[in-house]
Each structure stands twice: as structure tokens, then as C-alpha cells.
Amino acid sequence: MIPGFGIDSSPPPATVEDLLGPSLLAAMDGLEITSRKVLSGRLHGERRSRRRGFSIDFADHRPYVAGDDLRYVDWNVYARLDALFLKLYLDEEDLSVLIVLDATPSMDWGAPSKWTFARRLAMALGSIGLAAKHRVSLACCSGSDVSHLRDLRGRGRTAELGQWLLQRSIRDHGGGEPLGEALRAVAPTRRGRGVAIILSDFLGADDPLPALRTLAGGGDDLHCLQVLSPQETDPGGHGLAGDMRLEDQEGGPPREVTVTPSLLRAYRARLDERVRLVRDAARRCGGSHLAVETDADVADLLLGQLRRGGLIR
């Protein structure tokens, strides 16, 4: 065993503040999760809707018909035209945000840990959604083993979100296609359409396209955040060398290899191929893909790549 290779020696987060520190909280101020699709919410919220509603943004006039609320009659127009018109305003609806968190054993690796990083990112995205009065749901999956936290709304649920994330743990999935099984388990529980964010390393052997289609088929705006550790993207640079017996965190068959530059090149090519496969699958489902490394700063990630990717505004 190479000392420190893929092992996060820092203590895991124990409090909500560990997941969402003050600096991150300050960076999140004013951010909002957006959808590239115009979706209809179920409740009034802070997200502008195509439907007419009750926000302060003027949209149009229409003739008064019996039963209309007289509070919205434009009396200035009546004075000029002697006809009753209603002032129509853009409605503000809530947005359904689903954060799917991969809890397969492969996420429990890396320094910093992919699992910790994913939970912090989920905490940050969930908090942004709650602050924007979006309807935030979370699913923590390991294969078909899914635990849900549904329909949180409002800043007051931030602590509950944090506690729920702190209580999640890595679980064995018993083999098979963990991502596909997880998304097939989550998709039926989805109520309405919205934004679906998947936090996973996508390192299974299966093709991610069918699984993503399962989730995107409901009309969600899909965002795949592929979480990788620096030791995964550059194992040779982090000390992996020599004759090794590689044991699979997911329980797969071990590999006995002699780590040479040529082998590292081949590994890197296969990793890039896997990332490209996930990206193509996400795009074919109308979504986006972003590969992030766990040594990245979450605040920078939110304000930089995720904002440019259209997930955060």
C-alpha cells in the first residue's frame, strides 16, 4: 500500500458548518439555481414563470371578464378608454431541484475524499435552492438502495438538509449497475419537472446513457457533475508505481499490474474515454456535464464553472 495514496486523512465533516462554512455561505449569497428549460412549478415561488401571476413584473393587459379580481383592474386605462382592463403580471413559481448523491463505495476514495466533496457540493447546491424558495429534494443512492429527503423549501430547512447529509454513509450496492439501478429507483419518485443534479464519479463499467435517459425522460434539466479525485486523474504523479495488486473498492476483480509509464498512459486514455462517454450521454439527454476534481474550492466552483455552465445564476 502506498502511504496516503487515495486516503483522505482529514476528519470527515461532523456538523452542518463543516459542510457549509462561512466563506462558502458568503459566496452563495445571491446565487440561484436555474433551469435552461421553462418549467411550471407547483407552488408560488421566486422563480419567474411563463404563466401570469402575481409578481411585480408587468406582462400584458387583457379585457376584464366577470369574476376577475377587481384589484388588478387598471383604473388609469379605464379613465382614458372607459373600458375595464386587467393588468397582468408574470407569475413567480417554485423550481423542483433534485440532487442525486452517489453513495457507492468508489466515492469513498481520494484525498480529498470524493464523498465529502460531493456532500459539500450537495449542501451548497441545496442551500442555494432553499434560499431561492425552490423545492429541493435529495436522493442518496447506492444501487437500488435509495434514501430520500423530499420537498424541502425555504431557508429554514437548511439545517435539516445538512443533518440529513451528515447522516448519509457509503453503502455497498451488491454489484450490478449501481448508477442505472439508482436512477431507475429515483425517477418514479419524481414529482413534476425541474432540475436534476447528479453527483457521482460515474466510474461504473456500464453505459450511463440508459440510466440518464431514465431520469431525463421526465423532462428534468439534467446536470451531471462527475467528481474525481486528483489520485484518479494522475495516479503516477501521486506515487503509484511498481508491481501492484490493485483491489477494487467496488468489489470487482483485482488486477495485478506493473505500473509503468506505458500502463499509466493507457489508464489515462481509458479514464478520458470514460469521461467523454458520460459527457456524450449527458448531452444526448439534453443535459450538461462537468468533471470536477475534489481539490477544487467549492465556492470557486459555484461562481465559476457552474455559473458558466448555466446551473447557477
Pairing of strands 135-142, 221-228: unpaired
**Residue 232 interacts with other proteins (CB under 8 A)?**
yes
Work out how close the CB of 255 gets to other proteins at its nearest, in angstroms, rounded to a whole number: 5
> Exposed/middle/buried for 301, CB within 10 Å: 0-12, 13-18, 19+?
buried
Q: Which is nearer to other proteins, 65 or 205 (CB)?
A: 205
**Residue 191 interacts with other proteins (CB under 8 A)?**
no
H-helix or E-strand spanning residue 47 = strand 44-63
Q: Which is nearer to other proteins, 201 or 221 (CB)?
A: 201
H-helix or E-strand spanning residue 163 = helix 158-167
* Torsions phi, psi for 3 (to 5 deg): -60, 130
Give the residue, chosen from 203, 211, 302, 306, that forms a contact with other proteins under the rule CB under 8 A. 203
Which one, of 94, 49, 95, 87, lies nearest residue 71 by Cα?
Answer: 87
Work out how close the CB of 48 gets to other proteins at its nearest, in angstroms, rounded to a whole number: 41
Q: Which of residues 274-313 bind other proteins (CB under 8 A)?
A: 274
Work out how close the CB of 139 gets to other proteins at its nearest, in angstroms, rounded to a whole number: 21
**Residue 263 interacts with other proteins (CB under 8 A)?**
yes
Give the residue, chosen from 176, 242, 304, 310, that forms a contact with other proteins under the rule CB under 8 A. 242
**Residue 169 interacts with other proteins (CB under 8 A)?**
no
Task: Give the total residue count for the chain.
Answer: 313
In DSSP notation, 112-161 reads: TTHHHHHHHHHHHHHHHHHHTT-EEEEEEEETTEEEEEEEE-SGGGHHHH
| Contact residues: other proteins, CB under 8 A | 1-2, 5-6, 106-107, 109-110, 114, 201, 203-205, 229, 232, 235, 240, 242-250, 252-258, 260-263, 266-267, 270-271, 274
